[in-house]
Chain A
Amino acid sequence: MSTQLQHDMLPHATHDELARQNFVQSLKVYLASKVSPGNKVVYEQRAKPRFEQEYKRAPQTRHEVRRVMTDEPYYQTWSALQRTSQEMMWDAVAASVERQLPELIARAKRNGNTVGSLTLNPDLKIPAYHTAVDIHCMPGGYHSEDVTDDVAAGAVYDRAVYIYAVSRLGALNDDLGQSLVRYLKETHPAWQPRKILDMGCSVGHSTLPFVDAYPEAEVYAIDVGAPMLRYAHARAEALGKCVHFSQQNAEHTNFADGSFDLIVSHILLHETSSAAVRNIMRECYRLLTPGGMMVHLEAPQYHGMEPYAAFMFDWDTYNNNEPFWGTMRELDLVALAATAGFAKEKTFQTFVPSAWQATRLGTSRFQCGDFGGGGRWFMFAAGK
Protein backbone atom coordinates (compact mmCIF):
# COMPACT_ATOMS: atom_id res chain seq x y z
CA MET A 1 0.00 0.00 0.00
CA SER A 2 1.36 3.43 -0.94
CA THR A 3 1.99 6.04 1.77
CA GLN A 4 0.93 9.63 2.30
CA LEU A 5 3.47 12.34 1.49
CA GLN A 6 4.98 13.50 4.79
CA HIS A 7 4.89 17.25 4.11
CA ASP A 8 5.88 19.64 6.88
CA MET A 9 2.34 20.03 8.29
CA LEU A 10 1.21 16.41 8.25
CA PRO A 11 1.10 15.09 11.82
CA HIS A 12 3.65 12.44 12.67
CA ALA A 13 2.43 9.14 14.07
CA THR A 14 4.19 7.14 16.74
CA HIS A 15 4.61 3.43 16.14
CA ASP A 16 1.38 2.60 18.01
CA GLU A 17 -0.58 5.50 16.52
CA LEU A 18 0.34 4.36 13.06
CA ALA A 19 -0.52 0.74 13.91
CA ARG A 20 -3.91 1.93 15.19
CA GLN A 21 -4.52 3.85 11.96
CA ASN A 22 -3.34 0.87 9.92
CA PHE A 23 -5.88 -1.32 11.69
CA VAL A 24 -8.73 1.07 10.90
CA GLN A 25 -7.71 1.21 7.27
CA SER A 26 -7.52 -2.59 7.05
CA LEU A 27 -10.88 -2.85 8.79
CA LYS A 28 -12.46 -0.43 6.31
CA VAL A 29 -11.03 -2.32 3.34
CA TYR A 30 -12.26 -5.60 4.78
CA LEU A 31 -15.75 -4.24 5.47
CA ALA A 32 -15.97 -2.75 1.96
CA SER A 33 -14.65 -5.75 0.08
CA LYS A 34 -15.77 -8.73 2.18
CA VAL A 35 -18.70 -7.72 4.38
CA SER A 36 -20.62 -5.00 2.55
CA PRO A 37 -21.29 -7.09 -0.63
CA GLY A 38 -23.19 -9.57 1.57
CA ASN A 39 -25.92 -6.96 2.03
CA LYS A 40 -26.91 -7.47 -1.62
CA VAL A 41 -27.28 -11.20 -1.02
CA VAL A 42 -29.41 -10.60 2.05
CA TYR A 43 -31.52 -8.12 0.10
CA GLU A 44 -32.10 -10.40 -2.90
CA GLN A 45 -32.71 -13.57 -0.89
CA ARG A 46 -34.55 -12.35 2.17
CA ALA A 47 -35.57 -8.71 2.34
CA LYS A 48 -36.83 -8.20 -1.21
CA PRO A 49 -38.98 -11.40 -1.29
CA ARG A 50 -40.44 -10.36 2.06
CA PHE A 51 -41.39 -6.98 0.64
CA GLU A 52 -42.79 -8.56 -2.53
CA GLN A 53 -44.93 -10.96 -0.56
CA GLU A 54 -46.44 -8.13 1.42
CA TYR A 55 -46.89 -5.51 -1.34
CA LYS A 56 -47.12 -7.73 -4.49
CA ARG A 57 -44.39 -5.65 -6.15
CA ALA A 58 -40.66 -4.96 -5.83
CA PRO A 59 -39.38 -2.03 -3.74
CA GLN A 60 -39.34 1.08 -5.93
CA THR A 61 -37.44 3.59 -3.84
CA ARG A 62 -34.38 3.60 -1.60
CA HIS A 63 -36.69 4.33 1.31
CA GLU A 64 -38.66 1.13 0.69
CA VAL A 65 -35.42 -0.85 0.51
CA ARG A 66 -34.28 0.68 3.77
CA ARG A 67 -37.55 -0.22 5.45
CA VAL A 68 -37.02 -3.94 4.80
CA MET A 69 -33.24 -3.97 5.28
CA THR A 70 -33.29 -2.30 8.68
CA ASP A 71 -34.49 -5.53 10.32
CA GLU A 72 -31.90 -7.77 8.67
CA PRO A 73 -29.36 -8.94 11.28
CA TYR A 74 -26.54 -9.05 8.70
CA TYR A 75 -27.21 -5.47 7.63
CA GLN A 76 -27.36 -4.43 11.28
CA THR A 77 -23.96 -5.97 11.97
CA TRP A 78 -22.35 -4.44 8.88
CA SER A 79 -23.86 -1.05 9.72
CA ALA A 80 -22.65 -1.18 13.30
CA LEU A 81 -19.16 -2.19 12.13
CA GLN A 82 -19.13 0.52 9.46
CA ARG A 83 -20.17 3.20 11.93
CA THR A 84 -17.66 1.96 14.48
CA SER A 85 -14.85 1.94 11.90
CA GLN A 86 -15.61 5.58 11.14
CA GLU A 87 -15.50 6.52 14.84
CA MET A 88 -12.30 4.55 15.37
CA MET A 89 -10.70 6.33 12.41
CA TRP A 90 -11.35 9.79 13.83
CA ASP A 91 -10.36 8.66 17.32
CA ALA A 92 -7.08 7.14 16.15
CA VAL A 93 -6.11 10.29 14.27
CA ALA A 94 -7.41 12.79 16.84
CA ALA A 95 -5.39 11.16 19.64
CA SER A 96 -2.24 11.49 17.54
CA VAL A 97 -2.95 15.12 16.62
CA GLU A 98 -3.84 16.10 20.19
CA ARG A 99 -0.49 14.75 21.43
CA GLN A 100 1.51 16.95 19.06
CA LEU A 101 -0.83 19.93 18.69
CA PRO A 102 1.53 22.60 20.16
CA GLU A 103 4.25 21.50 17.73
CA LEU A 104 1.79 21.56 14.78
CA ILE A 105 0.69 25.09 15.71
CA ALA A 106 4.34 26.18 15.94
CA ARG A 107 5.08 24.63 12.56
CA ALA A 108 2.07 26.38 11.00
CA LYS A 109 3.40 29.72 12.24
CA ARG A 110 6.92 28.92 11.04
CA ASN A 111 5.62 28.34 7.51
CA GLY A 112 4.48 31.97 7.44
CA ASN A 113 3.40 33.84 4.32
CA THR A 114 6.21 33.17 1.88
CA VAL A 115 4.16 32.68 -1.28
CA GLY A 116 0.43 32.89 -0.46
CA SER A 117 -1.82 34.52 2.14
CA LEU A 118 -4.39 33.80 4.84
CA THR A 119 -7.28 36.06 5.86
CA LEU A 120 -9.48 34.94 8.75
CA ASN A 121 -12.79 36.45 9.79
CA PRO A 122 -13.57 35.73 13.46
CA ASP A 123 -17.02 37.33 12.98
CA LEU A 124 -18.09 34.87 10.27
CA LYS A 125 -21.24 33.02 11.29
CA ILE A 126 -20.69 29.27 10.96
CA PRO A 127 -23.73 28.00 9.03
CA ALA A 128 -26.25 25.80 10.84
CA TYR A 129 -25.58 22.91 8.46
CA HIS A 130 -22.11 22.67 10.00
CA THR A 131 -23.02 23.25 13.62
CA ALA A 132 -26.13 21.02 13.83
CA VAL A 133 -24.14 17.79 13.69
CA ASP A 134 -20.44 17.08 13.08
CA ILE A 135 -20.31 16.11 9.40
CA HIS A 136 -19.16 12.55 8.62
CA CYS A 137 -18.72 12.05 12.38
CA MET A 138 -15.53 14.12 12.61
CA PRO A 139 -15.58 15.34 16.23
CA GLY A 140 -15.76 19.12 16.29
CA GLY A 141 -16.44 19.38 12.56
CA TYR A 142 -14.55 21.81 10.36
CA HIS A 143 -14.93 24.84 12.57
CA SER A 144 -14.35 24.01 16.26
CA GLU A 145 -11.36 25.60 17.96
CA ASP A 146 -10.09 24.73 21.43
CA VAL A 147 -6.84 26.68 21.61
CA THR A 148 -5.39 29.86 20.10
CA ASP A 149 -4.28 29.45 16.48
CA ASP A 150 -5.79 25.94 16.46
CA VAL A 151 -4.95 23.77 13.43
CA ALA A 152 -6.20 20.46 14.88
CA ALA A 153 -9.26 20.09 12.62
CA GLY A 154 -7.09 20.51 9.53
CA ALA A 155 -4.45 18.09 10.74
CA VAL A 156 -7.06 15.48 11.64
CA TYR A 157 -8.84 15.91 8.32
CA ASP A 158 -5.70 15.67 6.17
CA ARG A 159 -4.61 12.41 7.78
CA ALA A 160 -8.07 10.84 8.15
CA VAL A 161 -9.09 11.51 4.55
CA TYR A 162 -6.07 9.51 3.47
CA ILE A 163 -7.11 6.60 5.70
CA TYR A 164 -10.77 6.85 4.68
CA ALA A 165 -9.93 6.87 0.98
CA VAL A 166 -7.50 3.96 1.53
CA SER A 167 -4.85 6.03 -0.29
CA ARG A 168 -7.01 6.22 -3.45
CA LEU A 169 -6.77 10.03 -3.46
CA GLY A 170 -3.00 9.85 -3.94
CA ALA A 171 -0.03 10.79 -1.73
CA LEU A 172 -1.33 14.37 -1.34
CA ASN A 173 -5.07 13.51 -1.22
CA ASP A 174 -5.36 15.59 -4.37
CA ASP A 175 -7.18 13.26 -6.76
CA LEU A 176 -10.33 15.41 -6.98
CA GLY A 177 -8.34 18.44 -8.08
CA GLN A 178 -6.06 16.38 -10.32
CA SER A 179 -9.04 14.69 -12.00
CA LEU A 180 -10.76 18.01 -12.67
CA VAL A 181 -7.58 19.61 -13.99
CA ARG A 182 -7.01 16.62 -16.27
CA TYR A 183 -10.56 16.91 -17.60
CA LEU A 184 -10.31 20.68 -18.17
CA LYS A 185 -6.96 20.36 -19.95
CA GLU A 186 -8.39 17.70 -22.25
CA THR A 187 -11.65 19.50 -23.04
CA HIS A 188 -10.33 23.09 -23.04
CA PRO A 189 -6.63 22.74 -24.00
CA ALA A 190 -6.14 26.41 -24.92
CA TRP A 191 -7.99 27.87 -21.92
CA GLN A 192 -5.88 29.73 -19.37
CA PRO A 193 -8.12 30.99 -16.54
CA ARG A 194 -6.57 34.04 -14.88
CA LYS A 195 -8.35 33.86 -11.54
CA ILE A 196 -9.58 30.64 -9.94
CA LEU A 197 -11.70 30.14 -6.82
CA ASP A 198 -12.01 26.87 -4.88
CA MET A 199 -15.11 26.88 -2.67
CA GLY A 200 -15.14 24.84 0.55
CA CYS A 201 -11.44 24.08 0.22
CA SER A 202 -10.93 22.52 3.72
CA VAL A 203 -7.17 21.76 3.83
CA GLY A 204 -6.62 22.84 0.22
CA HIS A 205 -5.78 19.32 -0.92
CA SER A 206 -7.93 19.70 -4.05
CA THR A 207 -6.87 23.32 -4.59
CA LEU A 208 -3.15 22.81 -5.16
CA PRO A 209 -3.39 20.97 -8.53
CA PHE A 210 -4.82 24.21 -10.01
CA VAL A 211 -1.70 26.11 -8.94
CA ASP A 212 0.45 23.68 -10.91
CA ALA A 213 -1.90 23.40 -13.89
CA TYR A 214 -2.34 27.15 -14.39
CA PRO A 215 0.91 28.77 -13.22
CA GLU A 216 -0.14 32.21 -14.54
CA ALA A 217 -3.43 32.20 -12.62
CA GLU A 218 -4.15 33.66 -9.18
CA VAL A 219 -5.69 30.92 -7.06
CA TYR A 220 -8.11 31.72 -4.21
CA ALA A 221 -9.67 29.27 -1.78
CA ILE A 222 -12.39 29.77 0.84
CA ASP A 223 -13.84 27.77 3.71
CA VAL A 224 -15.87 28.52 6.82
CA GLY A 225 -13.51 26.70 9.20
CA ALA A 226 -10.63 28.75 10.63
CA PRO A 227 -8.60 25.73 11.87
CA MET A 228 -8.93 24.20 8.39
CA LEU A 229 -7.68 27.38 6.73
CA ARG A 230 -4.73 27.87 9.08
CA TYR A 231 -3.65 24.33 8.33
CA ALA A 232 -4.41 24.66 4.59
CA HIS A 233 -2.34 27.84 4.36
CA ALA A 234 0.63 26.35 6.23
CA ARG A 235 0.36 23.17 4.16
CA ALA A 236 0.36 25.11 0.87
CA GLU A 237 3.33 27.20 2.07
CA ALA A 238 5.21 24.07 3.11
CA LEU A 239 4.65 22.69 -0.39
CA GLY A 240 5.60 26.03 -2.01
CA LYS A 241 2.18 26.60 -3.64
CA CYS A 242 0.74 30.11 -3.85
CA VAL A 243 -2.90 30.18 -2.74
CA HIS A 244 -4.86 33.04 -1.17
CA PHE A 245 -7.00 31.50 1.55
CA SER A 246 -9.82 33.38 3.26
CA GLN A 247 -12.53 32.47 5.75
CA GLN A 248 -15.78 32.95 3.88
CA ASN A 249 -19.10 31.24 3.31
CA ALA A 250 -19.49 30.22 -0.36
CA GLU A 251 -23.11 31.39 -0.23
CA HIS A 252 -22.06 35.05 0.18
CA THR A 253 -18.44 36.06 -0.39
CA ASN A 254 -16.79 39.48 -0.38
CA PHE A 255 -15.28 39.13 -3.86
CA ALA A 256 -16.38 41.68 -6.48
CA ASP A 257 -18.76 40.76 -9.32
CA GLY A 258 -17.00 39.02 -12.21
CA SER A 259 -13.87 38.20 -10.19
CA PHE A 260 -13.18 34.69 -11.48
CA ASP A 261 -12.89 32.79 -14.77
CA LEU A 262 -13.11 29.43 -13.05
CA ILE A 263 -14.91 28.47 -9.84
CA VAL A 264 -14.58 24.91 -8.58
CA SER A 265 -15.76 22.88 -5.62
CA HIS A 266 -14.90 19.34 -4.58
CA ILE A 267 -17.52 17.31 -2.67
CA LEU A 268 -18.74 20.55 -1.11
CA LEU A 269 -22.41 20.74 -2.08
CA HIS A 270 -23.59 17.66 -0.14
CA GLU A 271 -22.24 19.18 3.08
CA THR A 272 -24.51 22.22 2.85
CA SER A 273 -28.31 22.48 2.52
CA SER A 274 -31.00 23.02 -0.13
CA ALA A 275 -31.07 26.73 0.59
CA ALA A 276 -27.27 26.94 0.57
CA VAL A 277 -26.95 25.16 -2.80
CA ARG A 278 -29.31 27.74 -4.31
CA ASN A 279 -27.23 30.55 -2.78
CA ILE A 280 -23.95 29.01 -3.92
CA MET A 281 -25.20 28.75 -7.52
CA ARG A 282 -26.27 32.40 -7.40
CA GLU A 283 -22.94 33.42 -5.91
CA CYS A 284 -21.04 31.51 -8.60
CA TYR A 285 -23.03 33.32 -11.27
CA ARG A 286 -22.26 36.68 -9.69
CA LEU A 287 -18.56 35.95 -9.29
CA LEU A 288 -17.94 34.59 -12.78
CA THR A 289 -16.73 36.68 -15.70
CA PRO A 290 -18.71 36.29 -18.95
CA GLY A 291 -17.26 33.19 -20.58
CA GLY A 292 -16.28 31.83 -17.16
CA MET A 293 -17.27 28.44 -15.79
CA MET A 294 -18.28 26.83 -12.50
CA VAL A 295 -17.46 23.16 -11.98
CA HIS A 296 -18.61 21.10 -9.00
CA LEU A 297 -17.34 17.57 -8.37
CA GLU A 298 -19.62 15.34 -6.34
CA ALA A 299 -20.74 11.78 -5.79
CA PRO A 300 -23.31 10.67 -8.40
CA GLN A 301 -26.99 11.66 -8.30
CA TYR A 302 -29.64 9.04 -7.56
CA HIS A 303 -31.53 9.60 -10.82
CA GLY A 304 -31.58 6.35 -12.78
CA MET A 305 -29.91 4.42 -9.96
CA GLU A 306 -31.33 1.05 -8.86
CA PRO A 307 -33.27 1.39 -5.56
CA TYR A 308 -30.84 -0.98 -3.81
CA ALA A 309 -27.75 0.92 -5.03
CA ALA A 310 -29.30 4.24 -4.00
CA PHE A 311 -30.19 2.76 -0.60
CA MET A 312 -26.55 1.75 -0.03
CA PHE A 313 -25.30 5.15 -1.18
CA ASP A 314 -27.78 6.68 1.19
CA TRP A 315 -26.36 4.90 4.24
CA ASP A 316 -24.30 7.98 5.10
CA THR A 317 -27.37 10.20 5.21
CA TYR A 318 -28.71 8.42 8.24
CA ASN A 319 -25.68 6.79 9.78
CA ASN A 320 -22.61 8.91 9.12
CA ASN A 321 -23.80 12.43 9.98
CA GLU A 322 -24.32 13.46 6.37
CA PRO A 323 -27.88 14.83 6.76
CA PHE A 324 -27.99 16.52 3.34
CA TRP A 325 -26.34 13.67 1.40
CA GLY A 326 -29.63 12.04 0.29
CA THR A 327 -31.56 15.20 -0.53
CA MET A 328 -28.59 16.56 -2.49
CA ARG A 329 -28.60 13.44 -4.68
CA GLU A 330 -32.13 14.18 -5.83
CA LEU A 331 -31.76 17.87 -6.61
CA ASP A 332 -32.36 19.05 -10.16
CA LEU A 333 -29.03 20.83 -10.52
CA VAL A 334 -29.77 22.07 -14.04
CA ALA A 335 -32.95 23.79 -12.84
CA LEU A 336 -31.13 25.27 -9.85
CA ALA A 337 -28.36 26.64 -12.07
CA ALA A 338 -30.96 28.08 -14.42
CA THR A 339 -32.68 29.83 -11.52
CA ALA A 340 -29.30 31.31 -10.57
CA GLY A 341 -28.97 32.82 -14.06
CA PHE A 342 -27.04 30.19 -16.01
CA ALA A 343 -28.40 29.39 -19.50
CA LYS A 344 -29.71 25.81 -19.57
CA GLU A 345 -27.80 25.01 -22.76
CA LYS A 346 -24.57 25.97 -21.01
CA THR A 347 -25.04 23.50 -18.14
CA PHE A 348 -23.74 19.96 -18.36
CA GLN A 349 -23.28 16.86 -16.22
CA THR A 350 -20.82 14.08 -16.84
CA PHE A 351 -18.47 11.64 -15.14
CA VAL A 352 -14.81 12.56 -14.89
CA PRO A 353 -12.37 9.66 -14.61
CA SER A 354 -10.24 9.66 -11.47
CA ALA A 355 -6.73 10.83 -12.36
CA TRP A 356 -5.21 8.60 -9.70
CA GLN A 357 -7.10 5.48 -10.71
CA ALA A 358 -6.55 6.15 -14.41
CA THR A 359 -2.90 5.36 -13.74
CA ARG A 360 -3.71 2.11 -11.92
CA LEU A 361 -5.87 -0.86 -12.73
CA GLY A 362 -8.57 -2.57 -10.73
CA THR A 363 -8.39 -0.38 -7.65
CA SER A 364 -11.96 0.83 -7.49
CA ARG A 365 -13.71 -0.15 -4.31
CA PHE A 366 -17.12 0.73 -3.00
CA GLN A 367 -17.40 1.45 0.73
CA CYS A 368 -21.01 2.55 1.10
CA GLY A 369 -21.83 6.20 0.50
CA ASP A 370 -18.16 6.71 -0.19
CA PHE A 371 -16.86 9.43 -2.52
CA GLY A 372 -18.77 7.94 -5.43
CA GLY A 373 -17.80 4.31 -5.65
CA GLY A 374 -14.26 4.87 -6.87
CA GLY A 375 -12.89 5.30 -10.34
CA ARG A 376 -14.81 8.40 -11.38
CA TRP A 377 -16.34 11.62 -10.10
CA PHE A 378 -19.71 13.10 -10.94
CA MET A 379 -19.30 16.58 -12.41
CA PHE A 380 -21.84 19.36 -12.69
CA ALA A 381 -20.73 22.43 -14.63
CA ALA A 382 -22.19 25.59 -16.11
CA GLY A 383 -20.75 28.37 -18.23
CA LYS A 384 -21.72 32.03 -17.98
Chain B
Amino acid sequence: MARKAKGERPVFFHDPQVDKLLAITMALAGEVSVLHERLDTLERLAEAKGLISRQEIESYRPDEQVREERERWRTEYIARVLRVVREELEAVERGEVPESYETVVRAVSS
Protein backbone atom coordinates (compact mmCIF):
# COMPACT_ATOMS: atom_id res chain seq x y z
CA MET B 1 0.00 0.00 0.00
CA ALA B 2 1.17 3.51 -0.80
CA ARG B 3 1.89 5.42 2.39
CA LYS B 4 2.80 8.80 0.91
CA ALA B 5 0.16 10.89 -0.84
CA LYS B 6 1.20 11.79 -4.38
CA GLY B 7 1.85 15.55 -4.57
CA GLU B 8 4.55 17.92 -3.40
CA ARG B 9 4.53 18.50 0.36
CA PRO B 10 4.06 22.22 1.15
CA VAL B 11 6.81 24.09 3.02
CA PHE B 12 5.51 26.48 5.68
CA PHE B 13 8.66 27.61 7.47
CA HIS B 14 11.51 29.59 5.96
CA ASP B 15 13.74 26.58 6.52
CA PRO B 16 12.12 23.36 5.24
CA GLN B 17 14.10 21.40 7.83
CA VAL B 18 11.88 22.94 10.48
CA ASP B 19 8.78 21.50 8.79
CA LYS B 20 10.40 18.10 8.97
CA LEU B 21 11.38 18.45 12.60
CA LEU B 22 7.86 19.46 13.54
CA ALA B 23 6.41 16.38 11.84
CA ILE B 24 8.91 14.18 13.67
CA THR B 25 8.07 15.78 16.97
CA MET B 26 4.33 15.31 16.48
CA ALA B 27 4.82 11.66 15.57
CA LEU B 28 6.73 11.25 18.80
CA ALA B 29 4.01 13.03 20.74
CA GLY B 30 1.51 10.63 19.18
CA GLU B 31 3.50 7.59 20.20
CA VAL B 32 3.85 8.86 23.76
CA SER B 33 0.08 9.16 23.84
CA VAL B 34 -0.35 5.62 22.50
CA LEU B 35 2.01 4.34 25.14
CA HIS B 36 0.28 6.23 27.88
CA GLU B 37 -3.08 4.83 26.86
CA ARG B 38 -1.78 1.26 26.88
CA LEU B 39 -0.10 1.68 30.24
CA ASP B 40 -3.23 3.21 31.62
CA THR B 41 -5.28 0.25 30.42
CA LEU B 42 -2.78 -2.18 31.91
CA GLU B 43 -2.55 -0.48 35.24
CA ARG B 44 -6.30 -0.18 35.57
CA LEU B 45 -6.86 -3.86 34.69
CA ALA B 46 -4.04 -5.02 36.93
CA GLU B 47 -5.21 -2.88 39.78
CA ALA B 48 -8.78 -4.11 39.43
CA LYS B 49 -7.57 -7.71 39.58
CA GLY B 50 -4.96 -7.13 42.28
CA LEU B 51 -2.30 -8.62 39.96
CA ILE B 52 0.81 -6.47 40.20
CA SER B 53 2.68 -4.11 42.45
CA ARG B 54 5.15 -1.37 41.49
CA GLN B 55 8.01 -3.40 42.98
CA GLU B 56 7.38 -6.26 40.50
CA ILE B 57 7.67 -3.85 37.55
CA GLU B 58 10.91 -2.37 38.89
CA SER B 59 12.58 -5.76 39.34
CA TYR B 60 11.52 -7.26 35.97
CA ARG B 61 14.39 -8.51 33.72
CA PRO B 62 13.57 -9.45 30.08
CA ASP B 63 14.89 -12.74 28.68
CA GLU B 64 16.48 -13.19 25.23
CA GLN B 65 13.19 -13.69 23.35
CA VAL B 66 11.59 -10.64 24.97
CA ARG B 67 14.67 -8.59 24.12
CA GLU B 68 14.38 -9.62 20.44
CA GLU B 69 10.66 -8.84 20.34
CA ARG B 70 11.33 -5.44 21.83
CA GLU B 71 14.06 -4.77 19.29
CA ARG B 72 11.65 -5.51 16.43
CA TRP B 73 9.03 -3.26 18.01
CA ARG B 74 11.49 -0.40 18.37
CA THR B 75 12.50 -0.69 14.69
CA GLU B 76 8.88 -0.28 13.56
CA TYR B 77 8.45 2.53 16.05
CA ILE B 78 11.43 4.46 14.72
CA ALA B 79 10.19 4.00 11.14
CA ARG B 80 6.90 5.57 12.20
CA VAL B 81 8.65 8.50 13.88
CA LEU B 82 10.82 9.11 10.85
CA ARG B 83 7.94 8.82 8.35
CA VAL B 84 8.51 12.32 6.97
CA VAL B 85 12.11 11.53 6.09
CA ARG B 86 11.02 8.43 4.19
CA GLU B 87 8.41 10.47 2.33
CA GLU B 88 10.98 13.09 1.41
CA LEU B 89 13.05 10.38 -0.21
CA GLU B 90 10.00 9.02 -2.06
CA ALA B 91 9.33 12.50 -3.41
CA VAL B 92 12.92 12.71 -4.60
CA GLU B 93 12.63 9.29 -6.20
CA ARG B 94 9.44 10.32 -7.99
CA GLY B 95 11.04 13.52 -9.19
CA GLU B 96 8.39 15.76 -7.63
CA VAL B 97 9.43 19.42 -7.87
CA PRO B 98 7.78 22.52 -6.36
CA GLU B 99 6.27 23.48 -9.73
CA SER B 100 4.51 20.16 -10.22
CA TYR B 101 1.60 20.81 -7.85
CA GLU B 102 0.89 24.29 -9.24
CA THR B 103 0.78 22.77 -12.69
CA VAL B 104 -2.08 20.56 -11.50
CA VAL B 105 -4.02 23.52 -10.01
CA ARG B 106 -3.74 25.32 -13.35
CA ALA B 107 -4.60 22.20 -15.36
CA VAL B 108 -7.83 21.40 -13.48
CA SER B 109 -8.90 25.05 -13.38
CA SER B 110 -8.59 25.84 -17.08
Which residues of A line the B interface, CB within 8 A? 15-16, 19-20, 22-24, 26-27, 75-77, 79-81, 83-85, 87-88, 90-92, 94-95, 97-98, 101, 128-129, 131-134, 137-141, 144, 146, 152, 272-274, 317-319, 321, 323-324, 326-327
Contacts and interface: CB of A to CB of B under 8 A. Distances in A.
Contacts of A24: 30
Contacts, number: 129
A307 B90 CA distance: 36
B37 A19 contact: yes
B12 A79 contact: yes
A327 B109 contact: yes
Nearest to A78: B12
B6 A134 contact: yes
A140 B5 CA distance: 6
Chain A: interface secondary structure?
helix
B1 A140 contact: yes
Determine chain B's interface SS by DSSP, over half rule.
helix
Interface stretch (B20-28, B52-60, B63-71): B20-28
Most buried by B among A20, A26, A319: A20
A378 to B, nearest CB: 20
Nearest to A327: B109
Report, as a range, how many residues of chain B touch the other chain.
35 or more
A273 B38 contact: no
A134 B9 CA distance: 11
A273 B23 contact: no
B22 A134 contact: no
B109 A80 contact: no
B105 A19 contact: no
A139 B108 contact: no
B10 A79 contact: yes
A23 B22 contact: no
B4 interface: yes
21 contacts: A15-B37, A19-B33, A19-B34, A19-B38, A20-B30, A76-B12, A76-B13, A88-B30, A128-B107, A133-B6, A134-B2, A138-B5, A139-B2, A140-B1, A141-B5, A273-B107, A273-B109, A319-B10, A321-B5, A321-B101, A327-B109
